[in-house]
Amino acid sequence: MPAAVLLTALLAADPAPAAGPAPGGLPAVKVQDLHYGDVLFHFYQAEHFNALVRLAGYREQGRLAAHARDAELLRGGLWLSLGQHREARAIFESLLADPSTPAPVRDQAWFYLGKVLYAAGQFEASERALRSVAGELPPALVPERLLLLAQGLMYRGRFDEAVAVLDGWSGAPEWTAYARFNLGVALVRAGREAPGLELLDAVGTLATQNPELIALRDKANVAIGYAQLQSGRPAAARLALDRVQLAGPQANKALLGAGWADAAEGGYRTALVPWLELHQRALQDGAVQESYLAVPYAYAELGAIGQAVGYYEQAIASYDAERARIDESIAAIRAGRLLRAALSTRDDGRRGWFAQLAELPDSPESRYLYHLMAGHEFQEGLKSYRALDDMARNLTAWSGSLDAFGSMVETRQQALATRLPAAESRLATVDIGELNARRDALRARYEAAHAQRDVTAFATDEERAWLDQLDGVDAELAARAGDPGLDEAREKARLARGVLMWRLDEAWKVRSWRAGRSMRELDAAVYDARTRQTASNRARSGAPERNAELGRRVAAVAPRVAELAARVESAKAAQERFLADIAVSELQAQRQRLDEYSVQARYAIATIYDRASAQAPTP
């Protein structure tokens, strides 16, 4: 088996499912501040940048007092989701340094700090933070904490301790599968192959329709296959490799390993089946490249020397052509076309890696992007570049908003200059003091009538006219008190007054209630007028100054936005160079591997010719 096979047989721990500050990672709280609810709305929409901007603004304005600790924890998680580990770490350390931080918040701060340190590669510090969790974490964070702890131990070669962390642990099916896979890898690496392969086999035989778990199942079977090959058990290796789906990301490795499993048992003709299948696949994959050497090796072992030489020559030509394409890709990457291809597809501000990659054109600058994406460093780098790109777009939008604010300030200034004098003139015609006095006089009359039950106080205009007429009649009759001829008139006047007073008395309750209601409405109207006058005076007295202050603030923010935009563009350029260096380094490694394969192919051809010459009869 060529040495290149051993490289592809190396086992690697698989990371757990990506988990940012998911909603399940936050404690359930009753929202008491409307502004915190606004932040959570954008957070649950996965608009982390908008949520962070609002959180920072409301925090500065002091509008999150009821959720101060939760808001800080969320702010740290948002910075972490944006890949800003330094800011997130500072927030979590601040929470931990405050003795008044509640225990649940402290435990989550320890968890997120451990996650930040893990992402930064500081595995020892990450372990200390993760082990500092003293209480109960939310259920969504418990499995992730254990896996982060175990993977940090595995990265440092402390496999037995990783086994101790994961051994006996159980959780949700998805997390359990990852835990079993990582535990199996840790056991194999620690030299405890039997229990490790048993755990990997449990993952490799999962019955699931979950695409993520199917990919993990394939990876477990590939790991089993190559581990069995290294242990000299090709039949067991083939059994595991046959479980890998032919169209998945692990298919090429599985086909290559299946061929070597057959070859190890002398079945070179059978080994040609998966290896020739690999010949039909994209050459940029390492397993496909190795198959270009494996096929002629099998033909040579079968004694088909002519076919072996032909396939070796084909391999050399393919390697040379691939190296040329790699050189083209390197030039395209240096020209910046790689990032333009990676960012060419945008989906409503929520862009996924795989959605974009599915739409990449078949061009020199993009053909290797799938393989570069397998690297955590490139993923994190591209994530940071995207964040910078979004910041640049936001700053551009804010710059336009500032222009609009400037126009608004100018328009308001003009409106104040033209409308304020007219408003003051109209307000001068309203005397709130006089209205108050008139209202007080009416209330006094109402209260007096109510206290004395003066039924005539609520008489209608018609009834008031009748009362005035009766008063006139009574006065005239009183002036002629000794005239007996007016006795009948006096009786009629008395009867008329009695009827009128009876009607007024009968209507007293209804009219008294209506008068009270009208007084209350009058009180409200006077109060509203007084309030509006006060607000109007306050607005008029400070409107020009406030408008001028807003103009000064807009003018002060504009250069800050311009400065930030320049800094972001500079950071984008630096990040673009960083990503280009990663991509070029990867492609150069591939080119070097192709050089080595090409040398092996030429050496094999030379060896075949030497053997043929040695076996040729002497003339």
- What is the average per-residue pLDDT within 171-183? 79
The predicted-structure confidence for 34-87, as pLDDT tens digits, reads as follows 888 888 888 888 788 888 888 888 888 888 888 888 888 888 888 877 777 788
Provide the pLDDT for residue 617.
61
Report the C-alpha gap between 436 and 526 in whole angstroms.
7
Provide the pLDDT for residue 17.
43
Provide the pLDDT for residue 592.
92
Report the C-alpha gap between 418 and 423 in whole angstroms.
10
Domain ranges of the chain: 3-250, 432-615
Judge whether 392 and 568 are in contact, CB under 8 Å: yes
CA-nearest of 349, 323, 387, 320 to 579 is: 387
Between 94-98, 308-312, 547-551, the lowest mean confidence (pLDDT) is in 547-551
- What is the average per-residue pLDDT within 106-125? 88
Report the C-alpha gap between 87 and 158 in whole angstroms.
30
**Torsion 533-535-538-539 (CA) sign:** negative
The predicted-structure confidence for 520-539, as pLDDT tens digits, reads as follows 888 888 888 777 777 666 66
Amino acid identity of 541? S
Domain 3-250 belongs in CATH node 1.25.40.10: yes
The size of the chain, in residues, is 619
Provide the pLDDT for residue 296.
95
* Whether pLDDT at 417 is above 70: no
- The single residue listed with the structure tokens 């009753």 is 30
Higher pLDDT, 254 or 406: 254
Provide the pLDDT for residue 315.
94
Provide the pLDDT for residue 487.
80
Taking the whole predicted model, whether its pTM rises above 0.75 is answered as: no
- The single residue listed with the structure tokens 């603030």 is 553
Report the C-alpha gap between 57 and 36 in whole angstroms.
11
Amino acid identity of 308? A
Report the C-alpha gap between 409 and 387 in whole angstroms.
32
Judge whether 313 and 329 are in contact, CB under 8 Å: no
Between 214-223, 378-387, 489-498, 574-583, the lowest mean confidence (pLDDT) is in 378-387
Provide the pLDDT for residue 541.
64
Confidence band (pLDDT; 50, 70, 90) for 464? Answer: confident
Provide the pLDDT for residue 24.
40
Confidence band (pLDDT; 50, 70, 90) for 300? Answer: very high
Provide the pLDDT for residue 151.
86
The predicted-structure confidence for 265-286, as pLDDT tens digits, reads as follows 999 999 999 999 998 888 888 8
Query: Mean pLDDT highest for which of 348-357, 422-431, 465-474?
Result: 465-474
User: Judging by beta carbons within 10 Å of its beta carbon (0-12, 13-18, 19+), is residue 618 exposed, middle or buried?
Assistant: exposed
Report the C-alpha gap between 422 and 184 in whole angstroms.
83
The predicted-structure confidence for 579-614, as pLDDT tens digits, reads as follows 888 888 888 888 999 999 999 999 999 998 888 777
Provide the pLDDT for residue 396.
87
The predicted-structure confidence for 316-369, as pLDDT tens digits, reads as follows 999 999 999 888 888 888 887 777 766 665 543 344 333 334 444 455 556 666
